[in-house]
Amino acid sequence: MTEGNFVDYVKIHVFSGKGGKGSAHLHREKYITKGGPDGGDGGRGGHVIVKGNKNLWTLFHLKFKRHVKAEHGGNGSKQRSSGSQGADEYIEVPLGTVIRDSETNEIIKEITEDGQEFIVAEGGKGGLGNWHFKSSTNQTPRYAQPGIDGQQVDITLELKVLADVGLVGFPNAGKSTLLSVITAAKPKIANYEFTTLKPNLGIVEYRDFKTFVVADIPGIIEGAAEGKGLGHRFLRHIERNSTLLFLIPADAKDIKKQYDILLDELKRYNPELMDKDRLIAISKSDLLDEELRAEMKQELDKEFELPYIFISSVAQMGITELKDKLWQMLNKEPV
């Protein structure tokens, strides 16, 4: 999937169908001139329903769909015939999609399962036909109920990427390069900041045909929790990942400081992110000779309680060990 085709945020105005009118028909036949009321009920208007689809990865198919309308219900007719129900309109979304009310920004529902359905706008109820209103004092009611109007709602659909591992790091830390090495994904790679503007997903093929999903997410900068840089647009994708892989380049001035800044941004955005499993990968480790690596290892052992691993995507160094470690963390296997 190319980066331009990844859409994770759309706004849609939805209209449910109006209910059909009840009929005020009076029964008439050749030899029955005053047969009484027999008007049928109006049909229900169509719902607008959001439905989960496990085969979708993006909201791109909804990018230019600004309005979604369901069908109106049919009107009732004679011989107590009910009007047809309006056809429901479905909006299919990837798993991990959050539905918000555009006006209040309140979360209405999260779609996390394949086939899960949620009605965002209910169709209007059909009106009752005149035969419902017949009574001992009113044998021939000449009125029926009109159908109830459908609903109009502005909704926002936000996709939170569903991946097992989220790559966390500053811009240009080597996340895209790592993803291209451990998966078949082909993210845009260049030697400047913010090459990745939207998340990239890749499937890591592990031993014995086992797989897990990794998401390369746009780099954090200081102040991301307040919306600076790519801000919240990046951070919401982290919420779904069960394991966070912090990528810090070996040539960083202060590895511990970089990690602390990244962690602080996540904590300020959502403190629950602190409960996720974490692993630190020191990228671009091919820049270090054995002596430098041993020296850095001594410092890191003092500074970090978390597990860390030296890797180099270009030199294919430590990649197998990284996959092993991530698989163990995801499946809670003893190291």
Q: Tell me if 335 is assigned to some domain.
A: no
In the chain, which ranges are continuous DSSP H helix?
A: 175-182, 231-238, 255-269, 290-303, 319-330
Which of 85 and 275 is assigned the larger pLDDT? 85
Q: Are residues 196 and 236 in the same domain?
A: yes
Q: Are residues 212 and 320 in the same domain?
A: yes
**Binding residue numbers:** 169-176, 194-198, 216-219, 283-286, 312-314
Q: What is the pLDDT of residues 108-119, one digit of tens each?
A: 999 989 999 999
Pick the last residue of a domain from 130, 159, 188.
Answer: 159
Q: Are residues 20 and 109 in the same domain?
A: yes
Domain of 275, CATH number, reads: 3.40.50.300
Phi, psi of 308 (to 5 degrees): -140, 160
Domain of 91, CATH number, reads: 2.70.210.12
pLDDT band of 155, cuts 50, 70, 90: very high
Q: Are residues 118 and 193 in the same domain?
A: no
Q: Are residues 151 and 92 in the same domain?
A: yes
Residue 196 reports pLDDT greater than 50: no
Q: What is the pLDDT of residue 158?
A: 87
Q: What is the pLDDT of residue 20?
A: 95
Residue 251 reports pLDDT greater than 50: yes
**Binding residue numbers for Mg(2+):** 176, 196
How many Cα atoms sit within 13 Å of 46 on the Cβ side? 15
Residue 161 reports pLDDT greater than 80: no
Residue span of the structural domain in which 38 resides: 1-159
Pick the last residue of a domain from 159, 175, 196.
Answer: 159
Q: What is the pLDDT of residue 192?
A: 35
Q: What is the mean pLDDT of residues 303-315?
A: 84
Q: Are residues 84 and 217 in the same domain?
A: no
Q: What is the mean pLDDT of residues 49-64?
A: 88
Q: Are residues 254 and 188 in the same domain?
A: yes
Give the closest residue to 61 by CA, choosing from 6, 118, 100.
6
Q: What is the pLDDT of residues 7-50, one digit of tens each?
A: 778 999 999 999 999 999 888 777 766 778 989 999 999 999 99
**Binding residue numbers for GTP:** 169-176, 194-198, 216-219, 283-286, 312-314
Count the domains in the chain.
2
Q: Is 191 exposed, middle or buried (0-12, 13-18, 19+ CB in 10 A)?
A: exposed
Rounded to two decimals, the pTM is 0.64
Pick the last residue of a domain from 159, 190, 208.
Answer: 159
Spatial CB neighbours of 6, under 8 Å, sequence gap ≥ 6: 57, 58, 60, 198, 199, 200
Query: In the chain, what percentage of residues exceed pLDDT 90?
Result: 29
Q: What is the pLDDT of residue 7?
A: 76
Q: Tell me if 301 is assigned to some domain.
A: yes
Q: Are residues 144 and 178 in the same domain?
A: no
